[in-house]
Chains A and B, each alone.
Chain A
Amino acid sequence: MSFLTSLLNALPGAVAQGLIWGIMAIGVYITYRILDVADLTVDGSLATGGAVCVMLIRAGVSPWPALLCAMLAGMLAGLVTGLFHTKCGIPAILAGILTQLSLYSVNLRIMESKANQAVSVDKYDLLVSQRYVRTFSPVGELLTKNPLPLLLLFTAAVIALLYWFFGTEKGCSIRATGANQNMARAQGIDTSANVVLGLMLSNGLVALSGALLAQYQGSSDVQMGRGAIVIGLAAVIIGEVVFGKLFINFGLRLFAVSIGAILYYIVLQAALQLGLNTNDLKLVTALIVAVFLAIPYWKGKAFHGKAQKGGAHHA
């Protein structure tokens, strides 16, 4: 019984974390699923978003413009990876690793050579804070203090904007770039420019998520992005495994990614309540993602092995 109550207690926090990381995971979805590029920049750009946001708020900038600047910084990181990849011919995965590595130094510079910079909700007017995540007071106050409504609104806005964008001519051309570069170029689409644009969009969202996360936990840390890509992938894949058959519409698929992130954090909380050592978290996360990545492959082998061969031959 105590397990259930403590899990219930931890639920609002897990949902808030899930919503924040969900925005990051939607960024990963853009590169991993739409562009078909494995982008490892995100481990760096998440921390960049946090660093920029926290330092600006500490300097007296209000949270909204700070959030916007964090997003722009993330887009700049995506631009660098994109140029490494398209202009220098470096494989995408390596280009991302290079940017990620260099961002470690950049982030330390942004944070004035400190590995950690605090931004207390007592001193600054933050948009979201962990402290009030279990505050369910009357409506007026709840809207201003509890982070959940704002995070929900943020997620909905991000999904709505992306749904619109990927339905436009430009958005369609990015999807075509990810689906078949040969076809895209034959239809007059500048695939290199689109890959760069997609990476910028993705890392902008990742940095936005980092900025929200830093406010939520009251500090930015140079290590906060470590393993972010795996959490992002976990959210994308959990979302697909759970809702893949149900959600065909693109907007719903993004929604599924966000729910995937929330589920991930709820499962994580449950595991912690059951006595999992915090130090083993990353190991467990990696194993969970590995299993979820393997499931579609195993399924394909078990049921469609022969059919797939025939299909490929026909086509």
Chain B
Amino acid sequence: MLELKNICKTFNPGTINAKTALNDLSLTLADGDFVTVIGGNGAGKSTMLNAIAGVFPVDSGSILIDGQDVTKLPEHKRAALLGRVFQDPMMGTAPTMMIEENLALAARRGQRRGLKWGITPLERADYKELLRTLDLGLEDRLTSKVGLLSGGQRQALTLLMASLKQPKLLLLDEHTAALDPKTAAKVLALSDQIVQENRLTTLMITHNMKDAIAHGNRLIMMDAGRVVVDISGEEKKKLTVPDLLALFSSASGSTEANDKLLLS
């Protein structure tokens, strides 16, 4: 479903601030894979997701989604294939627009937007039912401005929007990191539910190693812009946090990285 071939990306090349964020990164995801991504700060996790989404062009390598080469496509064109939820709850929704308008915008992802009505009465009824499944009371607030919602509510809504139009690939960029533990757990459970119901191929970045182990069928660990550990299937199910730490230090050849990974 996703193929990253030898991706390189250096920010501020040729300057004193040059930073190689992705270093010959290759990764292949099978259809239906739910991959959790861990790694220390600056390992390149978010850069990888942003490279896939087309936030910036990569220096070299190619990106294929569902067999289609998207390496040269701008961000808004790739959006047809992708569902995205960001770390910052502010980033995924339009705060000055109504809940139903946000959903209607998401329902038209990848379609030409013309002069038909931006939202139809039929859609409204659908959205009401969908929001009911979130169990956050949003089904009665269709015409509320999204800016009035809490961070958790916004992330739940963004998740719904990301999956409203079935994406080829769902990108979750530490989407629970900015939430309090209780809300984070709820949003994470909802993510699981949405991924399973729609059988979505998913990349989920997390800082929480327990979450990385508990969710998905495959786990990758990144360091210095490449994948250093890749565990799936039965082996992943048996994984423990100490195992992961040991794997990390052997893979990155440094013990101090343990603290970096734990703390971050």
> What B residues does A165 contact at CB under 8 A?
115
Determine the distance from Cα of A73 to Cα of B94 in the docked complex, in whole angstroms: 32
Residues 98-131 (chain A) with a chain B CB within 8 angstroms: none
- CB pair B84–A186 under 8 Å, yes or no, is yes
> What A residues does B101 contact at CB under 8 A?
172, 175
- CB pair B94–A184 under 8 Å, yes or no, is yes
With A167-B118, A172-B119, A187-B106 in contact, is A180–B76 under 8 Å at CB?
no
- CB pair A183–B114 under 8 Å, yes or no, is no
With A168-B116, A173-B113, A315-B89 in contact, is A188–B79 under 8 Å at CB?
yes
The interface bits of chain A over 175-197 (1 if a CB of B lies within 8 angstroms of the residue's CB, else 0) are 11011101111111111000000
Residue B80 lies at the interface, judged by CB distance under 8 Å to chain A:
yes
Closest to A182 in B: B91
Q: In the complex, how many angstroms separate the beta carbon of B84 from the nearest chain A beta carbon?
A: 5
Question: Which has the most chain B C-beta neighbours within 10 Å: A165, A167, A188?
Answer: A188
Q: In the complex, how many angstroms separate the beta carbon of A201 from the nearest chain B beta carbon?
A: 14
With A171-B118, A183-B94 in contact, is A189–B151 under 8 Å at CB?
no
> What A residues does B102 contact at CB under 8 A?
183
Residue B53 lies at the interface, judged by CB distance under 8 Å to chain A:
yes
- CB pair B94–A315 under 8 Å, yes or no, is no
Determine the distance from Cα of A189 to Cα of B82 in the docked complex, in whole angstroms: 13
- CB pair A180–B118 under 8 Å, yes or no, is no
- CB pair A315–B104 under 8 Å, yes or no, is no
Residues 109-124 (chain B) with a chain A CB within 8 angstroms: 109-111, 113-119
With A183-B93, A183-B94 in contact, is A167–B76 under 8 Å at CB?
no
With A179-B94, A180-B94 in contact, is A169–B150 under 8 Å at CB?
no
Closest to B74 in A: A190
Residue A314 lies at the interface, judged by CB distance under 8 Å to chain B:
yes
- CB pair A172–B104 under 8 Å, yes or no, is yes
> What B residues does A304 contact at CB under 8 A?
none
Q: Is the interface of B mostly helix, strand, loop or mixed?
A: loop
- CB pair A183–B117 under 8 Å, yes or no, is no
Closest to B82 in A: A186
> What A residues does B151 contact at CB under 8 A?
314-315
The interface bits of chain A over 187-218 (1 if a CB of B lies within 8 angstroms of the residue's CB, else 0) are 11111000000000000000000000000000
- CB pair A186–B79 under 8 Å, yes or no, is yes
> What A residues does B89 contact at CB under 8 A?
315
- CB pair A188–B117 under 8 Å, yes or no, is no
- CB pair A168–B118 under 8 Å, yes or no, is yes
Residue B28 lies at the interface, judged by CB distance under 8 Å to chain A:
no
Q: In the complex, how many angstroms separate the beta carbon of B103 from the nearest chain A beta carbon?
A: 10
Q: How many A residues are at the interface, by size bracket?
A: 20 to 34
Closest to B161 in A: A187
> What B residues does A178 contact at CB under 8 A?
96
Residue B105 lies at the interface, judged by CB distance under 8 Å to chain A:
yes
Determine the distance from Cα of A176 to Cα of B92 in the docked complex, in whole angstroms: 11
- CB pair B114–A188 under 8 Å, yes or no, is no
Taking a contact as CB atoms closer than 8 A, the residue among B53, B74, B90, B105 that contacts A176 in the complex is B105
> What A residues does B119 contact at CB under 8 A?
172
Taking a contact as CB atoms closer than 8 A, the residue among A169, A190, A315 that contacts B76 in the complex is A190
Residue A170 lies at the interface, judged by CB distance under 8 Å to chain B:
yes
With A169-B116, A170-B115, A172-B119 in contact, is A188–B94 under 8 Å at CB?
no
> What B residues does A184 contact at CB under 8 A?
76, 94, 105
- CB pair B115–A168 under 8 Å, yes or no, is yes
- CB pair A182–B86 under 8 Å, yes or no, is yes
Residue B3 lies at the interface, judged by CB distance under 8 Å to chain A:
no
> What A residues does B96 contact at CB under 8 A?
175, 178-179
- CB pair A169–B97 under 8 Å, yes or no, is no
> What A residues does B109 contact at CB under 8 A?
187-188
Residue B237 lies at the interface, judged by CB distance under 8 Å to chain A:
no
Residue B24 lies at the interface, judged by CB distance under 8 Å to chain A:
no
Residue B260 lies at the interface, judged by CB distance under 8 Å to chain A:
no
- CB pair A170–B105 under 8 Å, yes or no, is no
> What B residues does A167 contact at CB under 8 A?
117-118
> What A residues does B106 contact at CB under 8 A?
187
- CB pair B94–A176 under 8 Å, yes or no, is yes
Q: In the complex, how many angstroms separate the beta carbon of A115 from the nearest chain B beta carbon?
A: 41
The interface bits of chain A over 136-179 (1 if a CB of B lies within 8 angstroms of the residue's CB, else 0) are 00000000000000000000000000000101111111011011
> What A residues does B42 contact at CB under 8 A?
none
> What A residues does B115 contact at CB under 8 A?
165, 168-170
14 more CB-based (< 8 A) A-B contacts, given A183-B102, A189-B79, A315-B90: A168-B113, A168-B114, A172-B104, A173-B105, A175-B94, A176-B94, A179-B94, A182-B86, A188-B79, A188-B80, A190-B76, A315-B89, A315-B151, A315-B154
11 sample A-B contacts, Cβ–Cβ < 8 Å, listed by A number? A168-B113, A168-B115, A173-B113, A176-B105, A179-B96, A183-B94, A183-B102, A186-B79, A186-B82, A188-B80, A188-B108
Contacts from A to B (Cβ < 8 Å): 165, 167-173, 175-176, 178-180, 182-191, 314-315
